[in-house]
Amino acid sequence: MKKTFGIYCNKHHGTKNDKLCPKCTALLATVMTKMNRCPYGITKPICDRCEIQCFGEKQTKEFMEIMKSTGTGMFFKHPIMAIKHKMASMSVDYSKHEMEKRQKEKDKAKEKNAQEKAKAKEKAEKDK
């Protein structure tokens, strides 16, 4: 995370050697604090895929900008980290897809169950 901020700050705020300007230092401190207190605990998703976005609107926007704009920079300077992050993002997407799939299956099963019950009830009333 610090490396990502460093790349961005070096490029956009004229700092050197992964050093951060006061604004980026403050943003990084907020992000790190929020992450340590993340309500998801060990199931924490990647922040840029999270629905809560706990950093607040302005800081989330700034954070996203840093994450997006350094995507390529990270890949050249720290390829292993960039790949790990990409894989983690893909795994979040995959989990989301699996959860949605399971939910759809559950909904379908419920609907089928309800239909069968209605049919059985109908039949029972006819047989009376």
**Residue 40 binding result from ligand SF4, Zn ion, none, given CB thresholds of 5 to 8 Å by partner type:** ligand SF4
Answer yes or no whether residue 91 interacts with ligand SF4 by CB under 6 A.
no
The CA-based angle 4-20-29, given to 5 degrees, is 75
Cα 82 to Cα 75, 89, 102: the distances in Å are 5, 11, 30
Q: Which of 1, 3, 25, 54 binds ligand SF4 (CB under 6 A)?
A: 54
Q: Which of 13, 26, 29, 39 binds ligand SF4 (CB under 6 A)?
A: 39
The secondary structure of 10-21 as a DSSP string is HHHH---TT---
CB of 33 to ligand SF4, least distance (A): 9
CB of 122 to ligand SF4, least distance (A): 48
How far is Cα 75 from Cα 71, in angstroms, rounded to an integer?
A: 6
* Sites of contact with ligand SF4 (CB under 6 A): 34-35, 38-40, 44-45, 47, 50, 52-54
